[in-house]
Structure 1
Amino acid sequence: MGVSSGSGGPGIVVVTLDFPPVNAVPVRGWYDLADTVTAAGHDPDTRVVVLRAAGRGFCAGVDLKEIQREDAIVGANTGCHAAFGAVYDCAVPVVAAVHGFCLGGGIGLVGNADVVLAATDATFGLPEVDRGALGAATHLARLVPQHLMRALYLTASTVTAAQLHHHGSVYQVVEASELDGAALALAGVIAAKDPRVIRAAKAALNGIDPQDVHRSYRYEQGFTYELNLTGAAGAARAAFLEQR
């Protein structure tokens, strides 16, 4: 349980999220994920990272129970920023393999990945406004067009893997039983190339990105802090947890 890494073949590091029952990641988990992805990229033998998850879904976001119980909003926000940034800044390409639900912080991870594969059962969304928080619109905007992003954000609605494939942000949609194999196959194609070129390509792609994802996400988080200070965030979290 937690964040683990292992070999997926020559040059491939597989990083797995495993926080039962729904991969709601605690503060420490976000930092562990950041450290694991960063370490994989720094290893000269690594050519590509595959980011996947065990259990019912890819990621349900932050652990709301921890935040409500321990007032861990600062840790959750800085941890998410570290994890999302680690995926984006990883020295090698990151391939995200998504199954089931990908919500909240899951969007932050996937939106910053280089290539996204998804199972047919995958759904993507930001329930933040229903939880009294804001954030990861920066990353959702990398997956869907601007006005669809706004509609999804304001309504807390979800979209399917097929819809994201239509928009080009999901590279391939496969059956859930085939997802890991498809992700490793794609990673193998990347890993077979000259690692010097691949690392340079990752740096070049980040360098021409039209949006500074680090600054943009931190700007969003400022409003989350404000909502916590007003009490609106705590009330929304309490209502959600009570319904569950």
Structure 2
Amino acid sequence: MSKNVAKNAPAYFSCWDLKAYYGDSYIVQGVSFDIHEGEVLALLGRNGAGKTSTLRAIARMDDPMLTHGEVWLDHKPLHDMKSHEAAQNGIGLVPEDRRIIPGLTVEENLQLAQIAKPKGWSIERLYEHFPRLAERRNQEGVTLSGGEQQMLAVARALARDVKLLLLDEPYEGLAPVIVQEIASIVEEIRNHGLTTIIVEQNAVAALKLADRAVILDMGQVVYDGTAQEVLENEELRHEYLAI
């Protein structure tokens, strides 16, 4: 358990019986779990298990369409909100494709994130934690390397007043040395007590950062427990994660 998580503390975030569709495809089939404040949870499973769809349902994106279930964060119901309202109430989604805004510099991407209140980390604080972005503050964001774009996407989320950070495949397509750098940044965020959900195909890397793990299979929760138990359970990893 993270040092930031008090034993038997009430859940800070919870989702209950989430059911979501892409068209006629039933993707998220009754997913439920909760997270304590300051906890890092690895949301794992094979390709097509429903991980990204669950994140997008939590963030109240239009796809997939959430048809049933509840999402609560810091005692507030989010399930009837639009995505921008969920963001205003503390959801910070870093999507797999990063969505860096073309035509804007690194600093302008960060400034744009702070137009709407409430604001999160100051740009100066972000540069302290992301010194490579400080070096490239005047460079167009879409011209950064893949790893630098991932840093910018995470920094942009932190520029808002984030209560729950959702990281969708933060290591996707990155060289091992850059993966380690991104992992160090996530570890630093973890040490600041920010509640986080990580969806990642590199399950071992995610588990080493996480306090707990939830494993999905066919859109349903098949495991909810400690990350350490998954690391130590070869049969569980082989059956649901193919590692």
The verdict on a shared fold, with TM-score over 0.5 as the criterion, is no
- Alignment TM-score, normalising by the size of structure 2: 0.26
Structure with the largest fraction of helix = 1
**TM-score, length-normalised on structure 1?**
0.26
**Higher-RCO chain (CA-CA 8 Å, sequence separation at least 6):** 2
> Which structure carries more strand by proportion?
2
